[in-house]
Amino acid sequence: MRKLSPEYYLSKEVDENWHELQGMGFLREESRDPILAEFQTLISSTQQGMIYVVSEEILVEFENKTYPTVDTNFYVKGDIPPLFFAQPCKNPLKDRPKIQKEFPDALITEKGYARVFVAYRYPAHLPEGFLYSTFGLAKEIILQWQKMPPQKVLSSFEVSISRKSRIGSVADSAVVSNIEELINLVREGIDILSFYLYFVVHANNKQELQQKSVDLQHTLKSYGIEIECPRFFQSRLYNFEVRFSFSGFNLFSIKKTIADARSMRALFPFIKENFVDDGGVFLGFSGTGDPIVFNPYKRHNYLMLILGETGSGKSMSSKIYLRRLHEKRSIPIYGIDPESEYAPLANYFGSTSVQLKENAPLGLDPIRMNLDRVMVAEILSEVYSIPPQLRPRLRKELFSTTSENMFDFIEKSDKDMKKYLEPILSPPDYYIFSGSPPNTSKPIIFGLRGLRSDHLKILTTSLISVYLGQEMRQSVVFVDEGWLFIRTPRIMHVFENIARRGRKHGLHFIFITQRVEDVASTPEGRTLLEQAATALLLRQEKEGVDAIKNIYKLSDGEMQSLVNASPGEGLLKAENMKISIRVVATSEELRTFSTTPLIAEG
Ligand SMILES: Nc1ncnc2c1ncn2[C@@H]1O[C@H](COP(=O)(O)OP(=O)(O)OP(=O)(O)O)[C@@H](O)[C@H]1O
Ligand SMILES: [Mg+2]
C-alpha cells in the first residue's frame, strides 16, 4: 500500500509533462459522448503520450473495523490540454518498486512478484470503458501512443494493400478493407496512432501471480482482447524501455497496434466508482457500501460546499470532517460560527475560540488591523448604507487618513459622512471596533451567537473574513449558516475571493448553508456554488431542489433521493465524481456533536 505524506499534495513540486487526472463515475448515457470526445482530443493533442493507471489496495479503518477497497489514480504524460481537471504532478513512475530478479516470464520486485502483459489482438468493436474491469487485477495499466504523420500512413498503407491484394485470401481481403477504411479516415483528417497497451500484474507470491494472470487473461478475452506475456522482455517492458518506430524493426518483436483516434475512445480509462483519496479522511459509506475517503487537496480547487435544509446534518457532517481533518494533519482551522455550535468544541478541531458578545470589546478596528482599504470601504458602505455618491470619497479618505483608529477617523470626517458612520461611535457597534484585535496567529473559531442582530453578525463576519483573506495562510476556514450573508454581496465577494485564491495558498474554504436557491439567486452566491470543486449535498427542500438540480446536473432520481434523505445522507460531488454518501459519526461524535438532545442513551 502506498502512503504519501499529506504534504505531498500541498507541495508545489511537479514534473514537466506529467498530469494527474480525476476519474469519474461510469459514463452515463447523457454525458458519455462529450466525455469520450474529450478523451479523443486528449489523445490527439499530443505527438506522443502515455497514460498510466495505477490501482492500490487500501484498507480503511473505522471504529476497529477494516474495510478493504481499491483506489485508482490516473496520470498522463505528454503535452495535453487542461481536460478532466488535469493538474501538474510529480512523475508517478519514480516510486515504482525496483526489479530485484528477472525470470523469463516474471519479475521479483522490492514489493513482491510482477508480470507484464502486452495486448496484441483487438476485436473490431470494444465497449467503451472496458478497462475498468481490469483495475483490480492489473495494478498498473499503461497506454503509450504516438501520432503517425499522415503522409507516412498513406504510403505505408498503400504498400500493404497492394501486397495483401496480391496474396488474396479471405482473411487478407478483410484486412484490406480495414486498411481502406483507415485511409479514408486519414483523408478526413482523423489522426492515426500507433499504440501499445500493457498491463502489470503485481502479487505477493507466485500462486497469486498465477491466479491474477489467468483472471486478467480471461477478463480481457471476454472482450475479444488477447494478451501475451513476452518472455525475456519482462524487465525492459516493466521499465518502459519500448521505443516507437515507424519503419524498420521495433526495438523488440512486440507488435504495436495501429488505430484511428476515434477508435481509441474505447480505451477510455478514467473511471472511478468508489471514492478513496490517498491521504484523505474517512467520511462514511457510499450506496454500494464502499468506504468514502476524501482529500480536499486532491481537487482542482479547495472550495467545499455543504448544502442542505435545516436538520439535514450539515453542521454534524462538517464537525466530523473538521475533527478528522485535524487529526490527520494539523492544519489550523478557523471558523465563522453564527450559532456558536463549534466554538465550545474548538479543542476537537485543534482551535481556540472567541465567543463574541455585544457589550465586550472585539478589537476589529479595520484601521488598526490594517485591512485592505478598498474592501473596508465597500463593506462599511454596504453595512451602513452609505449612498453611492459618497462611496468614492469614503474610499479615498480611508486611503489617505492619518487617523490611527476608526473612532478618530469618524470624528475627523465631515458631517455628511459622519451621519452614516456615527452608529460606530456608540454601542453595540462601538464594541466591535474597540479593544485590542484578536490574535489570529493561533487558529480561532468565532462564535457569533452572542451577537443577537444580523447587522452585528454581518459586520463582524466581514471584518474577520477580510482579515483571514488578507493573511491567506495554509489553513482551513469554514463559514456555517452561510445564507445569513447572501444579502451582503461584499461579504460573499470576500468569501468568493478567499475560495478562488485558496488553492495557491493551501487554504481550504468550507461554506455551509441552507436555502441554496437564495444563495443561487445572487451573482456572488451563484459563483461560489458553481466554482466549488466539492459539494456535499444533503437533504433538500422540495421547493428549492431545482437550483441544485441545475447547478449540479442531477437526474430526477438523484433529486428524489435528496428530498427523501435522512440526516447525514446525500450526494458527494467532487469534480466529475458523484457518489451517494452516508456520513458516519462514531457514537462519541454523535454524542458530542449533536445539537438535538438524544432521547435515550445506552
Ligand atoms: N451523520 C449523522 N448521523 C446520525 N445523525 C445525524 C447525522 N447528522 C446529523 N444527525 C442528527 O441530526 C441533527 C441535526 O443535524 P445538524 O445540526 O448537523 O443539522 P444542520 O443541517 O446543521 O441544521 P441547521 O441548518 O438547522 O443548522 C444532529 O444533531 C444529529 O442528531
Ligand atoms: Mg447547522
Query: Which amino acid, residue 443?
Result: P
> What is the per-residue pLDDT for 478?
97
Could you tell me which residues are beta bridge partners of residue 352? Answer: 444
Query: Is residue 193 left, alpha or beta, with left meaning phi > 0 and alpha meaning psi from -120 to 50?
Result: beta
| Integer Rg of the chain from CA | 29
Cell numbers for 73, please give them. 489514480
CA distances for 83 relative to 144, 191, 268, 449, angstroms = 18, 19, 13, 44
Beta-carbon contacts of 452 under 8 Å, excluding residues fewer than 6 positions away, are 358
**How do 106-109 and 99-103 pair as beta strands?**
antiparallel
Q: What angle do CA 258, 261, 262 make, to 5 degrees?
A: 115
Residue 252: helix, strand or coil by DSSP? coil
Structure confidence by residue, pLDDT tens digits, 547-587: 888 898 888 888 989 999 999 999 999 987 889 999 999 99
Distances (CA, A) of 506 to 9, 21, 212, 328, 496: 10, 19, 41, 16, 15
Q: Which residue has the cell 498465477?
A: 210
Q: Is 321 helix (H, G, I), strand (E, B) or coil?
A: helix
CATH of domain 281-358+445-593: 3.40.50.300
Burial of 164 per CB tally in 10 Å (0-12, 13-18, 19+): middle
DSSP one-letter string for 102-158: EETTEEEETTEEEEEEEEEE--S---TTGGGGGTTT-SEEEEEEEEPPHHHHHHHHH
Q: Given the C-alpha cell 448544502, which residue does it identify?
A: 307
Q: How remote is the CA of residue 71 from the centroid of ligand 2, in Å?
A: 32
Per domain, the residue ranges of the chain are 15-148+191-267, 281-358+445-593, 363-437
Cα distance between residue 234 and residue 97, in whole Å: 14
Question: What is the rounded CA–CA span in Å between residue 46 and residue 50?
Answer: 10
For ligand 1, is residue 315 a contact (CB within 6 Å)?
Answer: yes
Q: Is 595 touching ligand 1 by the criterion CB < 6 Å?
A: yes
Q: Which DSSP string corresponds to 390-421?
A: GHHHHHHHHHH---SSHHHHHHHS-HHHHHHH
| pLDDT score of 252 | 45
Q: CA-CA distance, 17 to 187, in Å (whole number)?
A: 30
Distance CA 296, CA 9 (A): 9
Distance 313 CA to ligand 2 centre (A): 7
Q: How far apart are the first and last CA of the chain?
A: 38
Indicate whether residue 316 lines ligand 1 (CB < 6 A).
Answer: yes
Ligand nearest to C-alpha 539: 1
Classify residue 576 by its DSSP letter: T
Q: What is the pLDDT of residues 152-168, one digit of tens each?
A: 777 777 777 776 666 65
Q: How far is the CA of 567 from the centre of ligand 2 (A)?
A: 11
Cell triple for 436: 485590542
pLDDT for 120 equals: 86
Task: Specify the DSSP element, H or E, that contains 88.
Answer: strand 87-88
Q: Is the minimum distance from the CB of 596 to ligand 1 under 6 angstroms?
A: yes
List, in order, residues 6 or more apart from 377 with CB less than 8 Å away: 391, 394, 395, 398
Give one DSSP letter per residue of 174-221, joined into a string: HHHHHHHHHHHHHHHT--EEEEEEEEEEEESSHHHHHHHHHHHHHHHH
Q: Which of 341, 583, 595, 596 gets mutated to test ligand 1 (max ligand atoms within 8 A of its CB)?
A: 595
Q: Is 506 in the pocket of ligand 1 (CB under 6 A)?
A: no
Q: What angle do CA 263, 264, 267 make, to 5 degrees?
A: 120
Among 534, 535, 558, 536, CA closest to 546: 558
312 CB within 6 A, ligand 1: yes
The residue ranges of the chain whose pLDDT is under 70 are 1-14, 26-30, 163-175, 242-255, 596-602
Mind giving me the DSSP string for 437-452? PP-TTS-EEEE-TT--
Ligand nearest to the CA of 585: 1
Shortest-distance atom of ligand 1 to CA 308? 21
Query: For residue 24, what is the DSSP state?
Result: B
Give the three cell numbers for residue 258.
Answer: 495501429
Ligand 1 atom 3 nearest Cα: 568
What does the pLDDT read at residue 1?
A: 39
Centroid of chain to Cα 130? 24
Q: What ligand has the least distance to the C-alpha of 312?
A: 1
